[in-house]
Chain A
Amino acid sequence: MIKKVKLPLVSIILMILFVVGGSVMLLVKWPPGPGNLDWGVLILAYFGYAYLIAASLFYVKTGR
Chain B
Amino acid sequence: MSLSLQYIIVLALYFLAMLSLGFWFNRRVRSKKDYFIARGKLGPATVGFSFSATQMSGSTYMGAVGTEKILGYNFTPAALSSAAAPWFSYILLGSRLRKIASRIKSVTIVDIFEARYYSKTASLTCTVIMLVAFIPMIAAQLKAAGNIFEVLLGLPYLAGLFVFGGIVILYTVLGGMYAVAWTDLIQGLIMVIGFAILAPVAVIAAGGFSGMHLQYAQLNPGAISFLGKMPAVWVVSAFIVWGFFQIGGSPASVTRFLIPEDDKTLKGAMVYSITFQSFIYLSATLVAIAGGVLLPNLERPDLTVPTMVSQLLPPILGGIIIAAVLGAMMSTIDSILLLAGSLVVENIYVRFVNPSIGQKKGLRIARTVTLVIGILALLVALKPPAAILWIVTMSFSLMASAFTFPFLLGLWWSRATREGGIAGMIGGALSCVFWYILGYLKYRSLDNWIGGVWPAIFGSVVCLVLFVAVSRMTSPPPQEVQSIFFEDSEDQDKTSLTSNS
Q: Could you tell me which A residues sit within 8 Å of B by CB distance?
A: 1-5, 7-8, 11-12, 15, 18-19, 22-23, 25-27, 30, 34-38, 40-41, 44-46, 48-49, 52-53, 55-57, 59-60, 63
Which of B124-132, B157-165, B232-240, B250-258 lines the interface with chain A? Answer: B232-240
Which residue in B79, B210, B239, B274 is a CB contact (below 8 Å) of A36? B210
Contacts of B217 in A (CB 8 A): 36
Instruction: Give the Cβ gap from A55 to chain B, nearest Cβ, in Å.
Output: 7
Contacts of B486 in A (CB 8 A): 4-5
Contacts of B487 in A (CB 8 A): 2-5
Interface of chain B, main secondary structure: helix
Instruction: Give the Cβ gap from B52 to chain A, nearest Cβ, in Å.
Output: 13
Task: Tell me the count of chain B residues lying within 8 A, CB to CB, of chain A.
Answer: 50
Q: With A and B bound together, what is the CA distance between A23 and B412 in angstroms? A: 25
Q: Are B225 and A56 in contact (CB under 8 A)?
A: no
Q: A2-B488, A5-B96, A5-B486 are in contact. Are A48 and B270 (CB under 8 A)?
A: no
Instruction: Give the Cβ gap from A14 to chain B, nearest Cβ, in Å.
Output: 9
Q: With A and B bound together, what is the CA distance between A37 and B243 in angstroms? A: 24
Q: Are B278 and A52 in contact (CB under 8 A)?
A: yes
Interface of chain A, main secondary structure: helix
A and B contact pairs by CB, cutoff 8 A, 24 listed: A2-B487, A5-B412, A5-B486, A8-B91, A18-B84, A22-B81, A23-B236, A25-B226, A30-B225, A35-B209, A36-B224, A38-B224, A38-B225, A40-B226, A41-B73, A44-B80, A45-B76, A45-B285, A48-B80, A49-B83, A52-B83, A55-B87, A56-B90, A60-B267
Instruction: Give the Cβ gap from A60 to chain B, nearest Cβ, in Å.
Output: 4
**What 17 additional pairs, Cβ within 8 angstroms, besides A36-B214, A49-B282, A56-B90?**
A1-B491, A2-B487, A4-B487, A5-B488, A11-B91, A22-B239, A25-B226, A26-B77, A26-B235, A27-B236, A34-B210, A37-B213, A40-B226, A45-B285, A49-B278, A53-B278, A56-B270
Q: With A and B bound together, what is the CA distance between A60 and B264 in angstroms? A: 8
Contacts of A35 in B (CB 8 A): 209-210, 213
Tell yes or no: B24 within 8 A of A by CB: no
In the complex, the chain B residue whose C-beta lies closest to that of A46 is B282
Q: With A and B bound together, what is the CA distance between A26 and B227 in angstroms? A: 7
Which residue in B83, B485, B489 is a CB contact (below 8 Å) of A1? B489
Q: Which residues of chain B from 471 to 496 have a CB within 8 Å of any chain A CB?
A: 485-491
In the complex, the chain A residue whose C-beta lies closest to that of B81 is A22
Q: Are B80 and A1 in contact (CB under 8 A)?
A: no
Tell yes or no: B23 within 8 A of A by CB: no
Instruction: Give the Cβ gap from A56 to chain B, nearest Cβ, in Å.
Output: 5
Q: With A and B bound together, what is the CA distance between A63 and B473 in angstroms? A: 34
Which residue in B226, B243, B244 is a CB contact (below 8 Å) of A41? B226
